[in-house]
A = this chain, B = another copy of it.
Amino acid sequence: MSSERQDEIQWLLQEHGNLTVTELAKRFNVSEMTIRRDLKNLAALGLIQREHGRAIYPPVLPTEILMMSMGEAEREKSRIGHLAATLITEGDSVILDAGTTTLGVAQALTTKCTVITNSIPIAGVLGNRNEITVLLTGGEVQGKNFALVGPLTRSVLKGFNADKLFLGATGVAIERGLSTANMLESEVKQEMLKVAKEVILVAHSAKIGQIYFHTFARWDSIQTLVTDSGLEEEIRDKLNSMGVKVLLA
């Protein structure tokens, strides 16, 4: 199947940094055209970088921002956002992680509260709602998804105490917990987990079952998952048995 090969290409690239189309075609015993199509898909998702004749890792950034404008997933993410936003009570201090699903939470937010975020788009959305105080963490600006990362971000987060954390993830899996392709983002998420009393994972069901390069959280640190109705029964049951409350939008 093409998606398995594409996963494998990612791993190979992480190892070798830089592989040609010809090399990959030989490796998988498929035509170069097929490899090109794989690389095009991966590049469209922002998971690799493309050059003439070759593929490069690391990617500039995950293109989650692009998915926001891709239509169908947008609707579900918006629903997830609305449901998640109801979990906030007036006066809460809330951390909103960077990501398109958490951006959905920001857009749905009407409760008077304080928001701490490392996402420039979220700060943009909430910036002029005068009932909401928005604190943007400092940090290095990551192109494409406009998240703030790095040591400054982490040290700023250390200074806060939050009632609730709305956390995003690139990959969500029963056995491997929450993962992402970007180490810098992982580190920031881990800092967020440390300073939040309650953790709510918001994730589109398509992300469930995916595993990326770095696991930043195990299930025991997550209290609630808000996702859409695409979630399989079996997984839902497993999560419940692990003590994770599951809400479907």
Contact = CB atoms under 8 A, between A and B. Distances in A.
B138 A156 contact: yes
Interface string A52-84: 000000011011111000000000000000000
A133 B142 CA distance: 9
B156 A141 contact: no
A124 B135 contact: no
A126 B138 contact: no
A60 B121 CA distance: 12
A11 to B, nearest CB: 22
A121 B152 contact: no
A135 B141 contact: yes
A139 B140 contact: no
Contacts of A126: 141
Give the dominant DSSP class at A's interface: mixed
A60 B66 contact: yes
A138 B135 contact: yes
Interface stretch (A27-35, A143-151, A171-179): A143-151
A124 B144 CA distance: 10
B136 A62 contact: no
Contact of A146 (B46, B127, B135, B142): B127
Given A133-B140, A135-B138, A120 B62 contact: yes
A140 B146 contact: no
A101 to B, nearest CB: 15
A65 B121 CA distance: 8
The 9 closest A-B pairs by CB, nearest first: A128-B143, A138-B138, A64-B124, A134-B141, A62-B121, A127-B141, A138-B156, A137-B138, A123-B141
Interface of A: 46, 59-60, 62-66, 120-121, 123-130, 133-144, 146, 148, 152, 156, 159
24 contacts: A62-B120, A62-B121, A64-B125, A64-B127, A120-B120, A120-B123, A120-B124, A124-B124, A126-B141, A127-B143, A127-B146, A128-B143, A133-B140, A134-B140, A134-B141, A135-B140, A136-B136, A136-B139, A136-B140, A136-B148, A138-B138, A138-B139, A152-B159, A156-B156
Given A60-B66, A128-B144, A129-B143, 10 more contacts: A46-B143, A60-B65, A62-B120, A62-B121, A62-B146, A120-B123, A127-B146, A135-B138, A137-B138, A138-B152
